[in-house]
Amino acid sequence: MRILGIETSCDETAAAVVDDRRHVLADVVRSQQDAHAPYGGIVPEIAARAHVETLDGIIAQAMDMAETGFDELDGVAVAGGPGLIGGVIVGVMTAKGIAAARNIPFIAVNHLEGHALTARLTDDIGFPYLLLLVSGGHCQLLVAEGVGRYRRLGTTIDDAVGEAFDKTAKMLGLGFPGGPAVERAAGSGDGSRFALPRPMKGRDGCHFSFSGLKTAVRQTVEALPPGEVSAKDTADLCASFQCAVADVVADRTRNACAAFRESHPDGDTLVVAGGVAANGHLRETLKGLAGEQGMRFVAPPQKLCTDNAAMIAWAGIERLKLGLTDGLDFAPRPRWPLDPEAPKATGAGIKA
């Protein structure tokens, strides 16, 4: 079984060809970073236009690299949401066109499920597993019980963790996207210099909060002597921020490990996924936590943590194997929770 995957839900235009023996035959990702950099964040209209201009070429490149003809495809999978709707529409319409022209199955994949199942592409792991999903728009702890079956244990009550990285980078003039820039700067910094808060640490449950940490970073920058913030200040603040993030994420994940073991005594694997899972310090911290909890730790290679189409193609394969295909009347979804039953998370009622 061989599938073409398409990803256009954010600022990466991507196409990949993957087979059911877990081979990534092609994985092409074109970042739009340069187009968005002057604005310090993603501009949805610019993103959608860039996807329109480049997607055909990216798909052709992936098919060439995979030495695959359209008549050799068993299906086409596309990120059908959640994401920036203009971009999602570009990918979905393209995938529908290919599916209709070739009369092959069309599979609309939840972008978050793409991240969630990546560990099954890279490693031979079965359900259930505990999943920490950390990206630019999400920060969630879930139990992955099966394809299409996720139970949310916790989420952020305000900002996503990737957003906190991006805002920190912006405040320090490090450019966009912020995560890799903060990690680079933190490499030479002293993480103990600035005492930043650890929101939610020590509380019951598995929810996250990052807005207080973001505010503390801003106040710290403002308290530094006026004028140029020195390279040392930047490095120390990035390192202190990264330590604070890893600290709270580990604390919340520790609670999730306990909840997971209680509900699934046979489960023994902790998986991390999403763009922020590319962060080396976070990976090391989570590896330590998994060791302490007697759990196996799986983190996909960095290239498959940030947005890509191999994860979409793979989720398409998992769904197609189960007969889960979609009609050409599928409507792109700006919002698409992995666990639709999970209640809205708020700060209210969370006990210290």
Site membership for ligand KG4, residue 275 (CB under 6 A)? yes
On the 0-12 / 13-18 / 19+ scale of CB atoms within 10 A, 352 is exposed
Per-residue interface string for the shown chain with ligand KG4, residues 130-159, x marking contact by CB under 6 A: -----xxx----------------------
- Nearest residue (CB) to ligand KG4, 305 versus 317: 305
Record the tokens describing residue 74, joined without a space.
């068993």
Tell which positions 283-322 bind ligand KG4, by CB under 6 A: 306-307
Is 118 a binding residue for Zn ion by CB under 5 A? The answer is no
**Beta pairing partners, 5:** 16, 77
Closest separation between CB of residue 329 and Zn ion, Å?
Answer: 25
- Which of 246, 173, 170 shows the shortest CA–CA distance to 214? 170
Which token pair is 215? 């505010």
Which residue's CB is nearer to Zn ion, number 75 or number 179?
179
Q: Could you say whether residue 209 binds ligand KG4 (CB under 6 A)?
A: no
The CB-of-307 to ligand KG4 minimum distance in angstroms stands at: 4
With contacts defined by CB under 5 A, name the span among 34-42, 130-138, 261-269, 335-343 that binds Zn ion: 130-138
Residue 137 site contact among ligand KG4, Zn ion, none (CB < 5 to 8 Å, cut-off depends on kind): ligand KG4
Q: Counting contacts by CB under 6 A, is residue 10 touching ligand KG4?
A: yes
78 forms beta bridges with 6, 108
228 vs 284, beta carbon nearer ligand KG4: 284
- Smallest separation, CB 74 to Zn ion (Å): 25
Smallest gap from residue 133 Cβ to Zn ion (A): 9
Residues sharing a CB contact under 8 Å with residue 153, sequence separation 6 or more, in sequence order: 141, 142, 143, 206, 256, 259, 260
Q: Provide the token pair at 154.
A: 């916790």
E strand spans, the chain = 2-7, 12-19, 24-31, 75-81, 106-110, 129-134, 139-146, 149-155, 269-273, 296-298
Count of beta carbons in the 10 Å neighbourhood of residue 96: 19
Residue 279 interacts with Zn ion (CB under 5 A)?
A: no
Q: Which of 135, 155, 240, 308 binds Zn ion (CB under 5 A)?
A: 135
Instruction: List CB contacts of 329: < 8 A, sequence separation 6 or more.
Output: none
Q: Is the dihedral of CA 158, 306, 300, 288 positive or negative?
A: negative
| List 142, 171, 278, 312, residue binding ligand KG4 (CB under 6 A) | 278
Nearer to ligand KG4, 168 or 220 (CB): 168
DSSP 140-205: EEEEEEETTEEEEEEEBSS--HHHHHHHHHHHTT--SSHHHHHHHHHTTS-TTSS----TTTT-SS
Q: How far is the CB of 33 from ligand KG4 (least distance, A)?
A: 11
Which residues of this protein are in contact with Zn ion, per CB under 5 A? 135, 307
Which residues of this protein are in contact with ligand KG4, per CB under 6 A? 10, 135-137, 162, 165-166, 177-180, 183, 274-276, 278-279, 306-307
